[in-house]
Homo-oligomer: A and B are copies of this chain.
Amino acid sequence: MKNYIKQDEWAVIEEGFHPEFNEVTESLMSLGNGRMGQRGNFEEKYSGKTLQGNYIAGVWFPDKTRVGWWKNGYPNYFAKVINATNWIGLDIEIDEVELDLAQCEILQFMRVLDMKAGTLKRLCTLRMANGHELEIESERFCSMSHDEAGMINYSIRPLNFVGKLKLTSYLDGDVSNRDANHGEKFWEEIDKEVLGSEAYLCMKTKVSPWENVPRFTITSGMRMKFFQEDKPISPSSLPVKHDKYVACQYELPLVTEEKTIIQKFVVNLSSENHAVDQQLAYAKKYLNEIYHLGFEVLLGEHKDAWAKKWELNDIVISGDVAAQQGIRFNIFHLQQTYTGEDPRLNIGPKGFTGEKYGGVTYWDTEAYCLPFYLATAEQKVARNLLEYRYKHLQKAIENAGLLGFDSGAALYPMVTMNGEECHNEWEITFEEIHRNGAIAYAIYDYTRYTGDESYLLGHGLEVLIGISRFWSQRVNWSEAKQKFVMLGVTGPNEYENNVNNNWYTNTIAQWTLRYTLAGIEKAKTDTETWEALKRKLQFREEEETGRWAQIVAEIHLPEDKEKGVFLQQDGFLDKELLTVDQIPEHRPINQKWSWDRILRSCFIKQADVLQGLYFFEEDYSLEQLQRNFDFYEPMTVHESSLSPCVHTILACKLKRVDQAYDLYVRTARLDLDDYNNDTEDGLHITAMAGAWMAVVKGFGGMRIQDGSLSFDPVLPESWKSYSFRVGFRGLVKEVKVSKEGVEIKDLKR
């Protein structure tokens, strides 16, 4: 756990430079606008520890799978979010000495992520090796109003010298991914152009061995503007071109105490949105437009857009700056990562903050992120997330086919970009199939929240039938148990692999079948549409629904009646049952224990039985919840970022507010405090939605009951009050909870 970020209600502040944590800070201070984003890298050269990252939404490369031992069924490649053209770069040379923060004496340093404005600012005073002292100030943002554009305002002020500045402002497409499986670079150059103070670079992802994989073309353009003594100047520009690189070079005089302001206007256009042959022309037009609007106007529009987002989405906590900063940090990054405007996109686990994992879509989207977007964005945003899976249904059917399933059974991938699986650990890829259930559950969650049954009765039912067909084939009849069983799965608790009858998986499978059967009953009221769907899906109604009903009735759900708990899986009680507080020196076990030891231990990575009790709470009594919570929570190490939030919600339900608070802090400040020592790889974006849920569904106790929102709030001891707003069926509800009581208001949306 790190503690160098200054606590502030609206900002993430690094005061004094911490080069040892620079990659962590770069992750924390990432910017994005749903369309593009980049890490908090410095504009100028930096020879210290840094992970360069510039990402364009939806742009990926099929990185050839790397495994030790191939298993039949592994995908050939991992769809990897790739580092794209570096557009922030400004190389600075003063009197022939290169500016490199790692080679300077830093006299003063502050890096600030302004979450209200959506900007990254830096103020830095330094002494170069030649004794020159100068002040650098920079501010940049990825525009929320012009979402293919980014701007930098960068100033240099000499403090003790008169000298000559050589500035190279560049676009560099010769970038790589640190986590490339085979050290490969993914881009090739297509075109470039330098014209006065403008430069363009067009890069295309390389040919891969897989025919059906799309290639992406990105045209980046930049245009420069300068001011000295607050007056625009037009220094002459020297064009520079290398392989995969364009730049404009300038020489400018620097005068003591006078600011030279360098403004860089950038556009990044993707072939996902612009025909390749029109990218260059459009880039020029777009750049021209933003150039003439100017930095201040664009910044104003950008701030306005953020203000609008905060208007609906802010959570205000008073009396606890750490908690306040934490929740805003989470909301901020969620909003930057996914705006919901483009139905082809989804919410990557690292968003625009790192390159690890690859893929963008995990079950996190349905289980954790959907409730956030349901409550904080227009209804179509949540619906887009559902439609995304509908579009991948055919691929999910093919994916199930690879594993030997047929007749339209669908298994959604564990990780995907284009609907194809791109994960390669057999115990997860092939066995962590509960993800299929979360995709079904999201249809229910959306329908329940919005009251809109049109998705369920249209595309949703097709998805549900595909998933139900999978469950139906995935179980088998056990002669020994005289029950349907599901063998060889990995539940949400990934610290168990290849177990039999994971309670959560069996429960969500049973639930899916039941929900699908109910959906079919609803659909049948429109005979014509239903008959058409049956024909489309070759649905053998009687036979299939008959078997499903039988499975619903006779699936094995492991339980210990004496202890009154559900069993995470068959045989769970054969383990040595310890509690987390008995092994303090062994934690985190994923760093200290070998995999077999983790597997045979009782310790739980993330909510598993409890995840089920959270999803299906109406089906269980408070007493059942309490017994299971008391049994499993003490064995849970929360080494998944997705774990504490579910526990927070359940602890609130059990009115264990102190425990809920501890779990909440862990969720909300996971990255700010770098709890798991891995923030340098990027932020845990999807877990951030969990932090939001911990407040709204946990402390706020928000539920849907009979088509209405209900609240059952609790207030942590250390908070004076908290408030949040949620959109619900055309209304905005504002909930304020304080020691004095609870106030719920309807606002207009």
Give the B-binding residues of A (Cβ under 8 A).
Answer: 65-69, 71-73, 402-404, 424-426, 430-431, 476-481, 485, 487-488, 497-500, 570-571, 573-577, 590-597, 599-600
Contact = CB atoms under 8 A, between A and B. Distances in A.
Contacts of A500: 571, 574
A485 B571 CA distance: 11
Nearest to A405: B597
A600 B502 CA distance: 14
Contacts of A575: 476, 478, 487
A405 to B, nearest CB: 9
A596 B431 contact: yes
Contacts of A404: 593-594, 597
Given A66-B68, A498-B499, 6 more contacts: A426-B594, A430-B595, A430-B596, A478-B573, A478-B574, A570-B574
Given A485-B574, A571-B570, A575-B476, A71 B595 contact: yes
Contact of A479 (B476, B498, B577, B590): B577
Contacts of A594: 71-73, 402-404, 426, 430
B576 A72 contact: no
Contacts of A65: 68
Contacts of A487: 571, 574-575, 599-600
Contacts of A571: 487, 500, 570-571
A402 B594 CA distance: 7
A575 B487 CA distance: 8
A649 to B, nearest CB: 30
Nearest to A572: B480
A573 B402 contact: no
With most chain B CB atoms within 10 A of its CB, the pick from A66, A424, A479, A575 is A575
Contacts of A69: 424-425
Contacts of A479: 573, 577
Nearest to A67: B68
Nearest to A485: B574
Contact of A426 (B431, B478, B481, B595): B595
With most chain B CB atoms within 10 A of its CB, the pick from A65, A402, A488, A573 is A488
A498 B599 contact: yes
A596 B488 contact: yes
Contacts of A402: 594
Contacts of A430: 594-596
Contacts of A426: 594-596
Contacts of A597: 403-404
A478 B424 CA distance: 34
Contacts of A431: 596
A585 B553 CA distance: 34
A595 B67 CA distance: 14
Instruction: List the 3 shortest-distance A-B pairs measured between CB atoms, nearest first.
Output: A73-B594, A430-B596, A488-B600
B71 A68 contact: no
10 contacts: A68-B425, A71-B595, A72-B594, A403-B594, A426-B594, A476-B600, A478-B574, A479-B573, A480-B573, A487-B575
A420 to B, nearest CB: 15
A444 B424 CA distance: 42
A575 B500 CA distance: 10
Contacts of A577: 479
A462 to B, nearest CB: 24
A26 to B, nearest CB: 23
Contacts of A73: 593-596
A426 B430 CA distance: 16
